[in-house]
Amino acid sequence: MLSHRAIWDGIDGLARRQGVSVSALAKLAGLDATAFNVSKRVSKDGRERWPSTESIAKILEATNESFDSFLSGTGAFLSVHSGFAESDLRNIPLLGLAQAGSGGFFDSAGFPVGHGWDEVALPTPDDNGIYALEISGDSMEPLYREGDRIVVSPTEQVRRGDRVVVKTRDGEVMAKILARQSAKQIELHSINPAYEPRILDIVDVEWMARIIWASQ
């Protein structure tokens, strides 16, 4: 079930991924600039106010984001799409993002293999291919910060606008947003505006997997 906080967190997350304020996001979608302001989320008598489905549809259209991508930023993605309760936990493989490029931890399709993995208990779907990576660096701030854990699924279909983990044939492993994909190249964006977009030739990419959840 989507909670009031989860929906507003999803809107905040969408604005961060676009590198704009919630006011600018609203204007981009043709809405009143104050539509998503914090003051609009709870009435003076303490009642929760919800954004309309029309306003959510408009910001998704304006940013070319899918509803799946929007939900993945709310913390409710797993329960909505997998019938999974977030209160349930199971152990999955865990590795630091900085370690992931050293070799021997993944097969050619991006599934976890070999030794050296730790384990962490997280609310995850029953998918034996998923694993967790611990964020290092600041390229995805403020969405992901140093020490946050992201849950990655090599079996999920990846679309434009999705948050992904990419491993290059040179051994670099990075968490980014897939901004564009063609037959020959992919374009990856960071959240932190200090980082320039990365354009990689497909032949230089070993695998790309979708981020489906984050523990912060």
pLDDT tens digits, 134-178: 998 889 887 788 888 888 989 888 888 888 999 999 999 999 999
Range in 67-71, 124-128, 190-194 with the lowest mean pLDDT: 124-128
CATH number of 4-74, picked from 2.160.20, 1.10.3470, 1.10.287, 1.10.260: 1.10.260
Whose CA is closest to 173, among 93, 84, 102? 102
Asked if 92 contacts 190 with a C-beta cutoff of 8 angstroms, the reply is no
Q: Delimit the domains of the chain by residue range.
A: 4-74, 91-121, 131-214
Tell me the pLDDT tens digit for each residue of 53-62.
888 889 988 8
**In residues, how long is the chain?**
216
Select the more confidently predicted residue: 1 or 12: 12
Quote the pLDDT of residue 73. 56
Rounded average pLDDT over 16-44: 87
DSSP 39: G
The radius of gyration of the chain from alpha carbons, rounded to an integer in Å, stands at: 18
Residue 49 phi, psi (nearest 5) = -105, 135
Say if domain 131-214 classifies as CATH 2.10.109.10. Answer: yes
The DSSP element (H or E) to which 24 belongs, if any, is helix 22-28
Angle between helices 4-18 and 53-63 in degrees, nearest 10: 20
* Per-residue pLDDT reduced to its tens digit, 95-117: 998 888 877 899 888 988 888 89
* pLDDT, position 186: 96
Q: Which of 33-37, 138-142, 144-148, 195-199 has the highest mean pLDDT?
A: 195-199
Residue 169 neighbours by CB distance under 10 Å: 12
Sequence-separated (6 or more) residues with CB below 8 Å from residue 113: 104, 105, 106, 107
Q: pLDDT confidence of 202, banded at 50, 70, 90?
A: very high
Confidence of residue 77 (pLDDT cuts 50, 70, 90): very low
Between 152 and 6, residue with greater pLDDT = 152
